[in-house]
Amino acid sequence: MQLLRRHLIGGAVALGAAISSGQVQSASPTLPIVPTRFGKVRGRTERNIHVFKGIRYGADTASYRFQPPRPPQPWTGVRDAFDYGPACPQRSAKGAVSEDCLFLNIWTPALNDGAKRPVLVYLHGGAHASGDGSSPLYDGVNLATRGDVVVITLNHRLNVFGYGYFARLGAAVGDDNFDYSGNVGHLDIIQALTWVRDNIAEFGGDPSNVTLFGQSGGGGKIVGLMAMRAADGLYRQCLTMSGQHVTASAPLNATRRAEAYLKTLNLTPDQVSQLKTLPVDALVKALDTPDPIVARDKVLFAATLDFKTLYRHPFYPDAPEETAQVPLIIGNTRHETAAFMRDAMIANDTTWETLPERLGKEMLVDMSPEYVIAHYRQWYPHMTPTEVLRAAATAGRSWRPHLIQAEARGAKLTPTWMYQLDFASPLHGGRLGAYHGYDIGLIFDNIYVPEANVGTTPEQIAAAQNVADILSTLLIQFARTGDPQNVLIPDWPHYELTQRATLIVDQTPRIDNDPRAQERRLFATVPYIKPGT
């Protein structure tokens, strides 16, 4: 049985080793029971980590659909926390779904021992439309073991249930049942963080040291929370992984989406109140409504500039002053957009003749694809058409908002770091590269999960473990101290506009100042607004 590599990071971060297969479990003689403010919960012990799944942090939302979350009703006795709670109803759900979805999951090395461990709260991806906190990639045993930290994942309301903005429609005007509908998913997260503040000490965590980290939509939710004053004081530092949000959904555009959605349901704006009692299946089916603003997508419900809970865009016109001194790591992957062009990448059938049309559909900025391609062919004469498509689409679509975030923070000389994952998946001949989401299994140190896509040969596993050590260690050190610096990486300066220092995460990590500078300057010549906002 292969044991994972161990490192000792300056004595500050305890690095443990998890069993390589991730399947071996050791049972505790007695099941751990922990009191919370609402009642006692019983968990299990896996590989010396206490695991509690499906702890309720909010009441069933079915009876107050589209309204802010409410605390759970206290219970007597002991509730088992053995299984993940259901996810919010969504298109193409992979498991159980229910409007009763306000549950969280905890992995911790010890209980109520006064150790004040750092608490890492992960927000899942899936835009604002799908996902949950139960993916095997998010299992917290390895992180909790490696860093002596508490790891938490959670479910919250999504899509129309969490972000359908109906407050400006007909009968909804003046109806306080819809006042907050455009952001109740974020309010769910805030309630979960409030639960963490009030209860996590019983699980061995430090309520005053909470780190938010999340990928894709989860990272976007984090920057949204950083712009919401209701979340202030509930976290200490943040790490976003491909969290590409710069702007929130504006209220008039959000209202256009609400109108289109109602039309699919054969409802008029004056009949909006019927949404509160329609069957869940009908609401989910209507999510296939074509988006009235972004033609290529189904209807997009997202955090909304409602001037009740969210009063400004996350990164426009600048970075929020109120959270300027909150330490923030902004992460992206080198070939983000390959994940959204998977079939084209695997087929590798793009030609110089077909490239302009394909690139024009993927950049999501209004720029001549022929002009862009000419520059890439000059800069990178070795690149194939497929590789140019991957690189240019990423630079125009996914990398650009990360740069805007880093520049806005860097202009204020804030504690901000930027990393770029260059380490690529070996699958499909490496054509997907370091795709959107590839850093999840690495930062959780869950490389043996099949979804991690790191390969299966000893050489591939060893390479992936090396990068997993780097990413998980910098996360743990960041959670412990507010600074990610550790012995596995070179000196990593704050991101500021004169140097643009970026940690390149690969087999041998390095610092690049202003990486891909020519690509950055090319796309900076046209304005970027997150599509649909």
Spot the catalytic one: 336, 362, 387, 519: 336
Is residue 336 annotated as part of the catalytic site, yes or no? yes
Is residue 216 annotated as part of the catalytic site, yes or no? yes
Query: What are the Cα distances from residue 246, in Å, to 158, 328, 342?
Result: 19, 15, 25
Question: In the chain, what's the furthest Cα-to-Cα distance?
Answer: 70
CA neighbours closer than 13 Å in the CB half-sphere of residue 171 = 12
Query: Using CA atoms, how far apart are residues 429 and 265, in angstroms rounded to an integer?
Result: 45
Q: What is the 3-state secondary structure (H, E, C) of 398-436?
A: HHHHHHHHHHHHHCCCCCEEEEEECCCCCHHHHCCCCCC
Spot the catalytic one: 99, 436, 472, 519: 436
Spot the catalytic one: 135, 216, 249, 472: 216
Query: Using CA atoms, how far apart are residues 17 and 5, in angstroms rounded to an integer?
Result: 7
Query: Using CA atoms, how far apart are residues 451 and 441, in angstroms rounded to an integer?
Result: 8
Is 238:405 a contact under the CB 8 Å cutoff?
A: no
Give which of 88, 273, 97 is closest to 189, Cα–Cα. 88
Measured in degrees and rounded to the nearest 5, phi and psi for residue 228 equal: -110, 120
Is residue 242 annotated as part of the catalytic site, yes or no? no
User: What is the identity of the amino acid at 318?
Assistant: D
User: What is the identity of the amino acid at 524?
Assistant: A
What are the helix (H) ranges across 164-204? 184-199
Measured in degrees and rounded to the nearest 5, phi and psi for residue 233 equal: 85, -5
Query: Using CA atoms, how far apart are residues 298 and 261, in angstroms rounded to an integer?
Result: 10
- Preceding omega of 317 cis (within 30 degrees of 0): yes
Q: How far apart are the first and last CA of the chain?
A: 50
Query: Using CA atoms, how far apart are residues 471 and 478, in angstroms rounded to an integer?
Result: 11
CA 391, chain centre distance (Å): 22
Q: What is the 3-state secondary structure (H, E, C) of 486-527?
A: CCCCCCCCCCCCCCCEEEEECCCCEEEECCCHHHHHHHCCCC
Which residues are known to be catalytic? 216, 336, 436
